[in-house]
């Protein structure tokens, strides 16, 4: 029949396009290394700082699809992770990774950005707000840790298991509640991550060298032993949203209250039935809260300018 060749051509064209589509990962030279990053979406810049053992390819695609409607997302691999390089002699610290992040923001032509940090990334985000407040539009801390003796005591060995876990499946299982709902959320996220890579929407950058894992672990331990951080939190003067999952197995949810109560005028929000990676498990409600928070800050700033 005459339309068959046309249908075959269309099918081949679609197949060819889907195979050719690929996220455009770029690299920026910063402090003697190269940070790999990519951007997506439109709007005000929102830089997302990944957690321990994580890469930019492991942000939940569903979360990114929601956030990119309002923000220009800047997604990157921390030094030594994924597609980013690191120096052989480097002694990684939270402060150093904060320096990297701010330099990346500036190298992309932004004077400031919304800063979202999750897990270890929230430590980096707090360090940015302390050292570079002029670079912070708003601060979003997810699954944070106040550092030093103020850290809420862990009641399980799940954090130790996380530091030793090698497979992505095991890591994901610890980031969600040990419940049927949590197991389903972990499984669904794993599927979304695989599809996003196959479709070229996320980079395939899931590998992290053992050396980087050890460096990140030491950086977190140094933060967690520093009693000065808690006092420094009180000096943060940027609009701050502190969030966590009530079923967090890695860091006690009490840390959210501790951090939020120390930062002046901070918002605090708790997500029921959700674990450490609650921004994936409950990405719709988290995104709506983030939209409301940044919009409230924007309106407040505009009102002050109009006075």
DSSP reduced 3-state for 100: helix
Is the pLDDT assigned to residue 50 strictly greater than 80?
Answer: yes
The helix or strand, by DSSP H or E, that contains position 44, with its residue range, turns out to be strand 44-49
Q: Identify the DSSP state of 4.
A: H
Least confident among 92-101, 140-149, 294-303? 294-303
Sheet containing 71-76: give its strands across.
26-30, 33-40, 71-76, 44-49, 113-118, 136-142, 240-245, 267-271
CA neighbor of 40 nearest in space, from 28, 56, 20, 55: 56
Is the pLDDT assigned to residue 19 strictly greater than 90?
Answer: no
Query: Across the strands, what pairs with 33?
Result: 30
In contact, 28 and 35? CB cutoff 8 Å: yes
What pLDDT, on the 0 to 100 scale, is given for residue 128? 98
Q: What is the pLDDT of residues 60-78, one digit of tens each?
A: 999 999 999 999 999 999 9
User: DSSP secondary structure string, 64-93?
Assistant: HHHHTTTEEEEEEPPTTSTT----TT----
Domain boundaries, the chain: 22-306
Is the pLDDT assigned to residue 281 strictly greater than 60?
Answer: yes
Q: What is the pLDDT of residues 179-235, one digit of tens each?
A: 999 999 999 999 999 999 999 999 999 989 999 999 999 999 999 999 999 999 999
Kindly state the percentage of the chain with pLDDT values over 90: 85
Q: Could you give the CA distance from residue 33 to residue 302 in angstroms, rounded to a whole number? A: 39
pTM: 0.91
CATH superfamily placement of domain 22-306: Alpha/Beta hydrolase fold, catalytic domain (3.40.50.1820)
Q: Could you give the CA distance from residue 60 to residue 197 in angstroms, rounded to a whole number? A: 11
Residues, the chain: 307
Q: Could you give the CA distance from residue 183 to residue 193 in angstroms, rounded to a whole number? A: 15
């Amino acid at each position: 029949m005459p339309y068959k060749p046309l249908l075959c051509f269309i099918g081949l064209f679609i197949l060819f396009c889907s195979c050719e589509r690929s996220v455009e990962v770029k690299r920026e030279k910063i402090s003697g290394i190269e940070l790999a990053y990519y951007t997506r979406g439109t709007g005000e810049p929102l830089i997302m700082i990944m957690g321990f053992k994580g890469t930019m390819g492991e942000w939940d695609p569903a979360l990114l699809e929601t956030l990119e409607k309002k923000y220009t997302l800047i997604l990157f691999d921390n030094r030594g992770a994924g597609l980013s390089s690191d120096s052989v002699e480097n002694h990684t610290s939270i402060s150093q990774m904060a320096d990297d992040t701010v330099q990346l923001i500036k190298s992309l032509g932004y004077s400031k950005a919304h800063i979202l940090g999750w897990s270890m990334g929230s430590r980096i985000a707090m360090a940015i707000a302390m050292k570079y407040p002029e670079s912070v539009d708003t601060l979003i801390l997810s699954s944070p840790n106040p550092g030093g003796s103020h850290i809420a005591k862990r009641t399980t060995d799940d954090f130790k298991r996380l530091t030793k876990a090698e497979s992505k499946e095991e890591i994901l299982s610890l980031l969600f509640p040990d419940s049927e709902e949590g197991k389903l959320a972990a499984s669904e996220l794993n599927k979304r991550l695989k599809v996003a890579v196959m479709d070229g929407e996320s980079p395939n950058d899931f590998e992290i060298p053992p050396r980087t894992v050890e460096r990140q672990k030491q950086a977190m331990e140094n933060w967690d032993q520093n009693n000065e951080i808690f006092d420094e939190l009180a000096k943060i003067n940027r609009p701050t949203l502190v969030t966590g999952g009530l079923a967090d197995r890695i860091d006690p949810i009490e840390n959210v209250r501790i951090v939020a109560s120390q930062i002046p005028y901070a918002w605090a929000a708790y997500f029921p039935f959700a674990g450490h990676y609650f921004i994936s498990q409950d990405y719709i409600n988290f995104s709506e809260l983030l939209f409301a928070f940044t919009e409230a800050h924007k309106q407040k700033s505009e009102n002050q300018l109009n006075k």
